[in-house]
Amino acid sequence: MYDIYCGNNVTDRRKQIKSLKKSLQAKHESAEVFEIDADEFEPKQLTELTGGRGLFEENYLVLLFHVISYEEGKEVIEENVTALKESDHLFVLITDNCENVSDNLQDHARMVKEFRGKRKKKQEPWDLVDAYGRRDTRTAWIEILKNLQDPSVLNEAAQGALWWQLKIIWLAKHTDSADEADVSEYPYKKAKKFAGNFTDEELWKKTKKLIAIYHQSHRGDYELEDALEQFILEV
């Protein structure tokens, strides 16, 4: 059997996931919980988990984060929808966008639960990313606090803007012009100035960490706001 959790209200969705885990483990203390992100998902995992048996318990919980948010993952899920529906184990398909949920997936799901937040104006925090590019920790920290406290700014926007800044700095280090990097001239010129502030290894590690922060906060491991503040302080 499988449920679908969709919508961008990550806070309420996280609470629901925690409640689901708690409910399962209250009934079966050693019940297994598998958490799989889209970037680590492999089709063979689905085959193994739909028909497998838990190491300690007969039934287990499988949380599939954002697998149906991407075309390749959605195709695999659609092809295995019958196996998911008939499995004794509970699978939860999780996506930020309810439009990723096809009619076919809805029709066979045990439950579809929407977590819709209030629509917010997406405002890119440019002062934050500029301070980060300068490695100005104090200003970047002040800006991240301002952005996280501003209800008009999505927390994901701050995370996305930081990721974009690291990406364009890397491009600026390895290209000679905005045309070659395939980006706009103005941000490219600024990134060129910032390029000397970071080594390639630092850019790689920080980019990987930002991606991990995004996935782990959506899993409910911690609050995105806290993780972003810590990330800034480590600049």
pTM of the model: 0.60
- Assigned fold of 126-233: Zinc Finger, Delta Prime; domain 3 (1.20.272)
What amino acid is encoded at 215 in this protein?
A: H
pLDDT value of residue 106: 93
CATH of domain 2-114: 3.40.50.300
pLDDT value of residue 53: 57
Residue ranges of the chain assigned to CATH 3.40.50.300: 2-114
pLDDT tens per residue across all 235 residues of the chain: 999 999 878 778 888 988 998 888 787 777 788 888 887 888 888 888 887 654 444 678 899 988 998 888 899 999 999 999 999 889 999 998 898 899 999 999 999 999 887 655 555 578 889 999 999 999 988 888 877 665 545 567 788 889 889 999 999 999 999 889 888 888 888 899 999 999 999 999 999 998 888 877 777 777 788 888 888 888 7
Helix (H) or strand (E) holding 5: strand 2-6
Q: From CA 235, how far away is CA 169, in angstroms rounded?
A: 14
Strand partners, 93: 4, 64
Residue ranges of the chain assigned to CATH 1.20.272.10: 126-233
pLDDT value of residue 175: 94
Cα angle value 3/219/111 (rounded, 5°): 10
CB atoms within 10 A of CB 177: 12
Q: From CA 140, how far away is CA 142, in angstroms rounded?
A: 5
Mutual orientation of helices 155-174 and 126-134 as an angle, nearest 10°?
40
Alpha carbon distance, N-terminus to C-terminus of the chain: 44
pLDDT value of residue 55: 46
> CA 152 → CA 14, 76, 197, 229, distances in Å?
21, 36, 31, 18
pLDDT value of residue 54: 47
pLDDT value of residue 24: 82
Structure tokens at 3: 């449920």
pLDDT value of residue 150: 59
CB-count exposure of residue 93 (10 Å: 0-12, 13-18, 19+): buried
> CA 217 → CA 66, 99, 211, distances in Å?
13, 22, 10
Sheet containing strand 90-95, edge to edge, reads: 33-37, 61-65, 90-95, 2-6, 111-114
Quote the radius of gyration of the chain (alpha carbons, Å).
Answer: 20
